[in-house]
Every structure is written in C-alpha cells, then in structure tokens.
Amino acid sequence: MPKLKIAFVLAAILLLSWSISQSELLRADGNEPLYIVIVDRHATSMSQENRNLAVSFVGLLSALREDQSIAFLTADSEGAVGPAVSGSAEHKSAYKEIVARIEDSASVRTADLSESLSYAHELMKFESAGEGSAVYIISGGELEGEPPAEAYPLGETINAFKREGWQIVSIALPGSSTYAKDFTRTVSGGTGGDIFPLSTPEELKVIADNILSVDAKGSLFEIGQDQLAPNDVFTASLEIAPSTTESSLVFFKQGSAGSLSLQNPSGVKASEGDRALSGVVETAHVVIWTLIDPAPGEWTVDVRGGDGFISAWHYPKNKLGINLVSFDTIPFDRSTEFVAYISDGHERVHVPDGEMRATIVDSEGKAFTYELNDNGEYGDAVSGDAYYSNTVPPLGSEGEYRIDLELHWPQHGHSISTQKSVMAQAFPVLDVSLEHAEALVPGDRVVIGAVEVKVNGQPYAIPTSVLSADISSESGEGVIELIPQELLNTGHAWAFDIVFTPGSKELHTVLFQLNMEYAARDYNFTTDSAVLSSFATRAVPQPQQQVVVVEVEKIVEVEVEKPAPAPPVAEPPAPEEGSEFPVMIAIIAVAGVASILIVAAIIYAIYGLTRSTPYGYLYDDEGNLLVDFSKVERSFMILLTHKNLILGEELRIPELKGLSFYYNDGEVDIRSTQTEPSIRVNNRPLIDGQETRSLNQSWIGTQGKLFSLHLTKPEEDSEPFVAPAVGDD
C-alpha cells in the first residue's frame, strides 16, 4: 500500500510538471514582445548633453512603442522599473522614475553591464517575452580606472538571447570608452542587433525610422526643417488624409525651442496645453504631439523662437488597410491578375479619391509599377465592386518578388502602404498536338492526336480526373475521349491520346482544360481552341467529254468511178499433213510458263518456310497457360503462306478475334483489324490499322477479359505476375 501511494504521488508530480511546462509554452507562443532599456548611468554622468540624449531616447521609444510593454533598468542598481504598457498610468509613472534616475547620475560608480544584461534576460524569461523582444543598452562616456570584472560569462548570456530569438540593440552616447565599445560590439553583433551612435537629433531620427520599420509601421514623413535663431519663426504645413485615426507630429531639435502651436484646417489653434492633443512627450531633443481622429485637410505648425536646427515629421495611422487577394505562388511565364482591396475593419470599402498601385520588385531590386483600377478595365472584372485589379505580364524568371501596395491621395500628398511577397515558379501546362483534324468520318472512332502535361518542359503526372476536354458544334453531336497512354501510379498519367468520334458532317471546336491543386493553391490552365472537321474530302471535278454533233443537211449523190479491182494475192500453201512445227512451239511455251511458276513457288516456299517461327506464351489474368505459340497446330498451306503470322482466329479464343501476332527478326508486333469491341495493349487503345511492339510481358485487355503475353516462359518458381489495375474500355 505505501508503494502505491508513492507511485501515485510521483505520477501526480510528473503530470503537474508537464501541465506547467505546456501552459508556459502556450503563454510564450501567444505573448507580446517585451522591451527593456538598460541605462549605464556612468555614461550619462559624463555630461548634461549625454543625459539629455538618454532621456530623449527613452521618450521617443515610449511614444513609438505604444501599447507595448517596456521596462527600465539602471546598470548600477538592482531591480527594474516596470514592465508596463506604454501609454498606461503605470508606464507614465515608470517613465518619470527612470528620467529621475538619469538626471540623478552625478556620481555613479562604474557598473558591470554583463550582470545587468543577464538580469534582463531572466526578467524576460519570467515575463514570457514573445517573439521580437529586445534589450536596448544606453552606454558610452569615458571609463575611469579599470574595466569592471565580468561577474557573469558573457558568451553564455549571448547564447541564451540567441536561443530565444531576442536581440540586443546598443545606443552609443558621445565619448564611448573602449570597454563600452567592445561590450556593445560583442553583444549586439552576437545577437544580430544594431549599434546606433547617438550624439545629434538627426541620429534620433534614424533610430525612430528603425523602430517603425521593424514593427512594419512605415516611416516618418517629413514636414519641414530649418535652422532657427532666437527670433525666427518656423512654419510648415501637412496634409492629413481621410480615415486617419491618429497622427503624431515629431520634432527633432538641437537646442531649446520656443513655443509650438498647431492649427487645424478650420483655423482653430491647438497649443501644447490644449485637450485637443491626446498626448504630449517633451524632452530636450524630441517633442511628440499625438492627435486622435484629426480632421482631414491641411494643418499648420508654427515654431517661434529657439536656437539651432529643428526638423518636423509626421507619423499618421490610418484605419484603412490594403489587402492582396492574389495567390502567394504564381506562374512565372504567364500573365497574372493582381487583385487588391481596401478594408475598413472587416468591411471592404471603395475610396473614390484614392489611387491604388502595385510595385513589383525582383531579387535584384528592379521595380515595375502598375496602376490597379476598379473601372472594369485592364483585368478588372467588375466596375465599382471595390476590387482593384490589373493584369501583369509574365515576370520572366522564377524567384521571390516583393509586392508594395500603395493607396495614394493626390490632393493630400499622402499615402498608406503595405508589403507582401509572392513566389514565382513553373506551373503545369498542356502541350497539345493534333495530327488528324480534317476529313474525319462521322461515326468512326479515331485517335486524332495527343496531349501532354509538362512542368518546365519535363513530364508531370496528374490525376486523370483533373484533365478535361470541351467540344462544341452546331448539332452538339460528337464524343471526345482522353485516354492515358501509360498509368504511372493509380489514376495518374502525363500523356493522353485524344480519341474523337464525330456525330455528323460539320465543324467542331475543341479546347482542353486543367483544373487542379498545385503549389498549395487552386490552378487552372486552358489551351487555345482548335477546329476539327468531319466533312469528307471534296473530290476534284473531272472535265466532261464534249460530244460534237454534226448535222448533215443534204446528201448529194455523186457518181464516182469504181477503182479497178486489185490483183489477186496468192495464199500461202497449207501445211502438209504431219508437220510438227506449231505443236512444238505450243509445248515450249507451256513448259516455259510452268517452269517460271515452279521456280516462283519454290522461291516463295523457301521464303515462307525460312520466316521466323512463332514463339511465346499466352496466360489469362489468373496465370493459367492458354496458348503455347510454338505448338499451335497449323496446316502446311498456312505455314507456307504466313508462317511468321498467327491470327487471333487460330488461337480459338473468341475475344482475340481481330488480333494478329507478327514475328520478324526477334520482335513481335501485335496488330488490330478492328475498333469495336475495343482492344487495349498495355492499357493503350489499339484500333483498326494500328500495331504495337510487344514487350517481354504485355497485357491485352478486351471485352472484360485480360490476357498476358510472355515472349519467354516464366520460371515456375518465380513470383506470380499481377494484373494491372485497369483493363480495357
């Protein structure tokens, strides 16, 4: 009993451990990214400018990483501030605390950055940070004394970050020490993170663009820039497009700036303290104003006074989205229809004053731009259905292509965009060859050509059910069949015979279609149409023989003198009785003809008797021997006339009537003298007048029965042969 209790407890512990691990995995997979900022206060203590730059970076990151979790950590002290979601009350409190710590860094000891980085990694693990998480290290300054000893192995920490897919991004303040440079180069390079120098407002703009691009939010749009003196006024305007849900104005300034004001399209001013602004971030080098649901139109920005360089930028958010409907994989050698639509939430909307375009960029950076329209033109199916389309020519080569979709408002000078990618590759095509398209006889079933399926010029087997033929004529009569030439797998083939039975004398239009799933998408290929004629060949009319009739109007009798009679000619004397000359001539003639016939017969007999002797064995589908061709009883006259040809009638098998087996120089050809009932050899139709070469084992299917022809007798102890999966028609 105690052992049972121990086993039960162990099982419960294992089950609990497994449940916790699975819940942690699920939580990590669905978690949002976490961003941690580590501030080296020894670097910020070097100068007030370093502190201003550090605070400006923290303010910029907090504004651009809205609705995302951010935590702050100083390298010289234990414990983190946060994490908290940017924009929340908790984050505002954490932001004020880290700014206070940065400002209060007059005399701070040199800290071990590797220890802080290891602590940040443990915090991210504890918070189950999701994909895309990163640590920002603000360091620099001039190191006084010896570099701090590394309390934690740096290589293990870097590997731990790499395993999670997290990056370490370095922000290098002016005057970076050798220790700081080596440290940031090692940790950022080891995790694939960037190193950004930070000494001017322009470099803050570079960092801002990087943050936006990593999050696929676009980039900042420039409003204007200027070099200000204390009494100067900087004025700039920006166009806010319709459907803009939020607009941020970002100012990067070198020195102190005076008053900033904003005027909406109606002429109403909104200053920094007005409630019209939903959020304001103001630091020494960065000022960010955020507007919620701004009115579309022209807004004006005024900056009065100040000292130094200033630049103004615009970062809008639009509730509209652009969606690509086209497949992720497309044929590289065929024209493709690109279709996109604009969404407002879950609804498809039409933007009458917007222009849609798609830019296709190949692997070498070559770009091609196409206008997408909703006017029912250039590949657009229906006008006004809010689907924007255009038919793009073949891309020309296989590979991955980037698709930049852009919605542009010309009157506002504003655009929103999204980026997709497609893979161009080879798709199946149909290669059709029609050998007999004219003078077809109604009612006759005949092979008129073949169709082959290829990918990149190579044969490609498809399910036989995905290939179809459409035929049309005035009477609607006529039957077309696609018969596989060879089945590679169950129900798969790549080459098909085209068998056509016309119904009447007329013209028929035929085309072939391929409808299948390929490259994880639905795919359709249709050939050009071809014309078949079942009119008989027109005979050339022969010229009629002209009969000339001469009308004799009058007969005049004229007395003509009769010519004098010719002198009599003496007849040759009759042969005397007993003369043998004519008889000998007749005998010689008969003997000559007889000799010629005898010699011809001997030559023909020698030719016939020296022909190949039939051989081989015929079995039914259960392996029972039906015929030994070498022992078929045949008369002398048959051996004399066609020793090397065995007719199906001689085998006394009713189903093989109409077949013949022709032996010549070690080869056996199977010939057919009928079309109905159908006969198939190795699963290919054999119709009247055709022949096929027999293999060592060939299958003959007709009238629901299956026979196996072996040229050599199978070994008795060999594996039994198996009939193919399909038989005759």
- Convert the pLDDT of each residue in 480-516 to its tens digit: 999 999 888 778 999 999 999 998 889 999 999 999 9
Q: Is the pLDDT of residue 387 over 50?
A: yes
Q: Does position 368 have pLDDT exceeding 50, yes or no? A: yes
Please compute the mean of the pLDDT values over residues 179-198 and round it to a whole number.
83
Residues of the chain with CATH 2.60.200: 617-710
> What's the mean per-residue pLDDT of the chain?
78
The CATH classification of domain 617-710, taken from the options 2.60.120, 2.60.200, 3.10.450, 1.20.140: 2.60.200
Residue predicted with more confidence, 584 or 647: 647
Say if residue 7's pLDDT is above 70: no
**Range with the lowest mean pLDDT among 53-67, 228-242, 416-430?**
228-242
The secondary element (H helix, E strand) that includes residue 119 is helix 113-126
What is the rounded distance in angstroms from the CA atom of residue 436 to the CA atom of residue 588? 56
Structure tokens at 355: 């222009």
The pLDDT of residue 554? 37
Which residues of the chain form CATH 2.60.40.1930?
A: 429-533
User: Which tokens is 699 given?
Assistant: 């299958």
pLDDT at residue 454 greater than cutoff 90: yes
Residue 275's pLDDT is 42
3-state secondary structure of 631: helix
449 three-state secondary structure:
strand
Per-residue pLDDT, 514: 94
Query: What mean pLDDT do residues 607-625 have?
Result: 79
User: Alpha carbon of 246 to those of 209, 236, 251, 312, 605: distances in Å?
Assistant: 18, 19, 17, 17, 104
What is the per-residue pLDDT for 605?
A: 57
Interval 55-83 mean pLDDT? 85
Per-residue confidence at 215, pLDDT binned at 50, 70, 90? low
What's the pTM value of the predicted model, to 2 decimals?
0.49
Look up the CATH number of domain 221-318. 2.60.120.380
Q: CA-CA distance, 166 to 101, in Å (whole number)?
A: 26
- 432-468 in b/e form (b: 16+ CB < 10 A) is bebeeeeebeeeebbbbbbbbbeeeeeebbbeeebbe
Among the CATH numbers 3.90.1150.10, 2.60.120.10, 3.40.50.2000, 3.40.50.410, which is that of 25-144+152-214? 3.40.50.410
Return residue ranges of the chain for CATH 3.40.50.410. 25-144+152-214
What pLDDT is stored for residue 82 in this prediction?
83
Residue range(s) occupied by CATH 2.60.120.380 in the chain: 221-318
Query: Could you give the count of Cα atoms lying within 13 Å of 498 in the half-sphere of its Cβ?
Result: 24
CATH architecture, domain defined by 320-425: Sandwich (2.60)
For 276-318, how does the pLDDT look when each residue is reduced to its tens digit (9 = 90+)? 556 678 888 888 888 888 888 888 888 876 677 888 887 777 7
Name residues whose C-beta falls within 8 Å of residue 173's C-beta, 6 or more positions apart in sequence.
43, 44, 46, 50, 53, 54, 138, 139, 140, 141, 198, 199
d(CA 135, CA 272): 32
CATH of segment(s) 429-533: 2.60.40.1930
Higher pLDDT, 574 or 203: 203
Higher local confidence (pLDDT), 260 or 249: 249
249 or 606, which is more confident? Answer: 249
Quick one: pLDDT band at residue 177, thresholds 50, 70, 90? low
For 140-209, list the strands marked E by DSSP. Answer: 167-172, 195-197
Helix 113-126 vs helix 178-191: angle between axes, to the nearest 10 degrees? 30
| Rounded mean pLDDT, 671-694 | 78
pLDDT at 595 over 80: no
Mean pLDDT of 66-84: 84
d(CA 36, CA 362): 37
Indicate where the chain has its CATH 2.60.40.1220 domain(s): 320-425
Q: Is the pLDDT of residue 63 over 50?
A: yes
